[in-house]
Structure formats: structure tokens, C-alpha cells
Amino acid sequence: MSSGIRESSGSVFPSVLGADGDIDLTGGLASKAEDERPTIRPSGDAWVIDRDRRSLPPPPAAQSASPDRPPAVLDEGSTATRDEVHHAIADRFALGDYAAALSAAELQLGREPEDEEARRYAESSRERLEVRYATRIGSLDYIFNVSVPAAKIKWLGLDHQAAFLLSLVDGQTTVGEVLDLCQMGRLEALRVFTELLDAKAIERVA
């Protein structure tokens, strides 16, 4: 029995049936080199091969072994030395990421309360953040009012302190007075006020 199909023109086409009886759309033309990495689904279809190749997990990112590089993340379980922590804090401060620098410095102070360099970075970061938030607000003499309906305030996801701060925004009290009355740390109060402003939950009226 012939393995091909002969048309009237006399040309012979390879059979679509493989030796095992399965359908082979490649006509037996596809071959796999011995040193090729097998794909999940062997096929002569280039798109399928590329898809299978792209579905493989990426190789792990190379980690820098340089001892001069500070640790990428500072957390409570970090075993970084004091110098490494200082380098990490300094890097964040230099990049203008004062919130991260403050967090790292306060974490270091929790481990070593006598670390004066970490304390200086914490104070400087806090000052820079206060200036940044105050600049975003415009002036502590401005007066704001709530700009969302009372029924929608719950969707802002505020904690009880932030909700209390928002309750002080009444269209008559200045930003500075709100900060004094809200029973929050000044930096935290400025941050929450700025977040409310960015969320368009409050608007300036005077």
C-alpha cells in the first residue's frame, strides 16, 4: 500500500498519518536535534514552539556579590551590619525616598537606640517629608472642606485617627488648626491630609 496520495497530476503528497496512526500535519518533515531542549508539546509549528519556550520559568536574577552594596531590603530579621544599614539609608535619602529612609532609620534605632547617624537621618528625613507634604497642601493657613458625600466616606478606608482628622475639616478650621487638634503626630497628620487631598476627598475653600 502506498504511503502517499497520488493526484491526477502525478505528484505525491506525504501521508498525514504517522507510523503510529496519529495525525502528523508536518508530514514527517519536522525533526528534533538531539541537543535541542524538548518543548512541552513537540510540534513543527513554530508558533507553538516559541510559545512553549516563552512559558518556561525565567532564570533567577543574578545577585550582586559586591560587599560594597547595601542590602536591598531592611527588615526586622535583617542581619546587616551597622555600616551596611547606614549605606542603605544614605542611598534612599540621596534618591529622595525620604519615607523609605525614615522607615529604615527608625528600624535601625529600634535595634540600636544609641545609633546617632541613624537618628540624624531619621530627623532629616522627617523634616524633608514635612516640607514636601506642606508644599503639596500649599499653606497651613488654607481652609478646606469635605468634598465627598457623608455616605461615601466609609469607602475611603480610613482608620479611626484619619476619620477623626477628616471630621475636623469643616470649611472653617485652617490646616494648621486641624493638625493641632487631630491628636496625631505632625508628620503622620500631614501625610493623611495630603492623601485626602490627592484622593479629592477634600477641597480648598479659602
Strands (E), 100-183: 143-146, 170-174
pLDDT at 75: 63
pLDDT at site 15:
55
- For 54-69, the pLDDT digits (tens) are 444 444 433 333 444 4
pLDDT at 43 over 50: no
Place 14 in a pLDDT band, splitting at 50, 70 and 90.
Answer: low
DSSP-assigned letters across all residues of 87-124: HHHHHHHHTT-HHHHHHHHHHHHHH-TT-HHHHHHHHH
Report, in angstroms and rounded to the nearest whole number, the Rg of the chain calculated over CA atoms: 33
Query: Lowest mean pLDDT: which of 72-76, 91-95, 99-103, 198-202?
Result: 72-76
124 in a structural domain: yes
In a domain, residue 10? The reply is no
Residues 144-153: tens digit of each pLDDT: 999 999 888 8
pTM more than 0.75: no
Task: Looking at the structure, tell me whether residues 151 and 171 fall in a common domain.
Answer: yes
Give percent above pLDDT 70 in the chain. Answer: 62
Dihedral sign (CA 161, 121, 96, 104): negative
Counting Cα atoms < 13 Å in the Cβ hemisphere of 130 gives: 13
Are both 142 and 199 inside the same structural domain? Answer: yes
6 falls within a domain: no
Task: Tell me: do 147 and 126 sit in the same domain.
Answer: no
Which domain range does residue 124 map to?
82-134
pLDDT of residue 56: 45
- Region of 68 please: left (phi>0), alpha (psi -120 to 50) or beta: alpha
192 inside domain: yes
Mark whether 150 and 195 lie in a shared domain: yes
Q: Is residue 120 part of a domain?
A: yes
Look at residue 168 and tell me if it is in a domain. yes
Helix (H) or strand (E) holding 19: none
184 within a domain of the structure (yes/no): yes
Indicate if the pLDDT at residue 202 is higher than 90: yes
State the total domains in the chain.
Answer: 2
**What CA–CA distance (Å, rounded) separates 15 from 5?**
7
More confident residue, 22 or 5: 22
